[in-house]
Each structure stands twice: as structure tokens, then as C-alpha cells.
Structure 1
Amino acid sequence: MMDWNTYRDQVLAGVGEVGKLSPDTVRGYVQLGAAGGKTNHLDAKTRELIALACAVTLRCDGCITVHGQQALKLGATREEIAEALGVAVALNAGAALVYSTRTLDAVAAAGEI
């Protein structure tokens, strides 16, 4: 398995380097991430659980390690994280099912040529 703590440090250092080269890009990213917290419709832990589910769907290891650590800091339990990940699994399965219908449509169209 990966050394997630070292990897997280590397990702954050890399983002810091991008910030030096393109500060407005990173500043904009940070502003996007903070926008949800200003409404308080969802609490911070819930936003982190959503972020973890999205990270799995996007297959982003950097997001997984950063948002996983933050979810734990905000009190998320392993069970809550597992439930959020279950949502990601279901969503990915649903997307595969929808794209299966598109594939069958494409195959049917190819057969009509």
C-alpha cells in the first residue's frame, strides 16, 4: 500500500509550487473549496464525506488523502466514511449502467450501416 502521509505532503508541496507559479489559480481553487462553508447548509464533515465520494469517483489519490485526513479531523467515523464510499460505488455502477445503454445504442447504430 501507499505511504499516504508522505504522499499527502508531496501533493501539498506540489500545490504550493503551483501556487508560486500561478497564485491566482490556487487562490481560485481555495475560494471554490471555501464557498460551501459560507452557506452552512451542510456541515464541514458532511462536505468532506461528499468530497471523499467524489474523490473515489474521480480516482484522485490526492483528494482521497487530503479529504480523508480532514474528514477524520472533523470527527467522521470509519462507518460514515464507508457509507460515503458506498455512495461512490453505487454512483459509479449507475454511470456504467447508463453508459452500457449508450454502448448498446452505438452498437445498434453501427449494425445499421
Structure 2
Amino acid sequence: MLNDWKAQLSNTRKAAATLANANPKFIQAFQALNAAQGANGHLDAKTRELIALAVAVTTRCDGCIASHASAARQAGATEGELSEALGTAIALNAGAAYVYSVRAMEAHQQFGE
């Protein structure tokens, strides 16, 4: 096992209390942002959570992975659906590395001029 994701989620939520106590208005705004997610009803909860998990992978956020894996499971996401969403994240992240490699090559060339 790489991580204990249930403990990760619990520990993240407990640790977040320090930030919430220090900056309650910010946390209220953050919670309102999360509550507004999906308010228009165009995507169902499962789809939103699969997207969130894919984004969490590309941003390398363990707390996000724990939170959205739990929510995706509760929303009924299957292992097959999750693997396709994660495949998209892997492909995109590799694509982003490709594009930024092109940028790095261009920067290197410009510094040679």
C-alpha cells in the first residue's frame, strides 16, 4: 500500500482546522466555492468527481486525491470509469510536459541569439 487514504483524508481535515481558525472568512469563501460546484446541474456528481480526481493527479495533491476518491466512490464511480479518467490525466500531463519542453527549447534558442 502506498498510502492510507482514509487516514490521509482524516488527517487533512483535522489539520485544516488550524487554517480555518486563523482565516475563517477565507475558509467560508472556499466552502462556498465548493458548494457552488455543479449548481447549474449540467454535470452529475460522479462526472464532477472523476474530473476532480484527474485534476488532483495532475496537480499532485494527496489531500485532493483522498477527498475526491471518497466522493467519487460515494457518487458511484466504478474502477473502469476511474481508470479512463486517470488515463486522460496521464495523457494530458504528458502532453503538458511536451508543450513545456517546446517552450524550454525556444527559451534556450532565444538566449543564444
User: TM-score, with normalisation over the residues of structure 2?
Assistant: 0.93
Structure 1 Cα separation of the partners of residues 10 and 37 of structure 2: 25
Q: Tell me the percent identity.
A: 48
Instruction: For residue 36 of structure 1, report the CA deviation from its aligned partner.
Output: 2.3
Instruction: For residue 95 of structure 1, report the CA deviation from its aligned partner.
Output: 0.8
Name the structure 2 match of 1:12.
Answer: 13
Structure 1 Cα separation of the partners of residues 112 and 22 of structure 2: 51
Instruction: For residue 104 of structure 1, report the CA deviation from its aligned partner.
Output: 1.1
User: TM-score, with normalisation over the residues of structure 1?
Assistant: 0.93
SS of structure 2 residue aligned to 1:41: coil
SS of structure 2 residue aligned to 1:2: coil
Structure 1 Cα separation of the partners of residues 19 and 38 of structure 2: 24
Instruction: For residue 37 of structure 1, report the CA deviation from its aligned partner.
Output: 2.2
Stretches of structure 2 lacking an aligned partner (at least 5 in a row): none
Q: Report the residue type matching 1:95 in the other structure.
A: A
CA RMSD of aligned residues (A): 1.1
CA contact (8 A) 1:15 1:26 kept: no
Name the structure 1 match of 2:103.
Answer: 102
Q: Across the two proteins, how many residue pairs are aligned to each other?
A: 112
Stretches of structure 1 lacking an aligned partner (at least 5 in a row): none
Query: What is the correspondence of 1:70-81 to structure 2 with a 5 Å cutoff?
Result: 70-81=71-82
Higher helix proportion: 1
Instruction: For residue 33 of structure 1, report the CA deviation from its aligned partner.
Output: 1.2
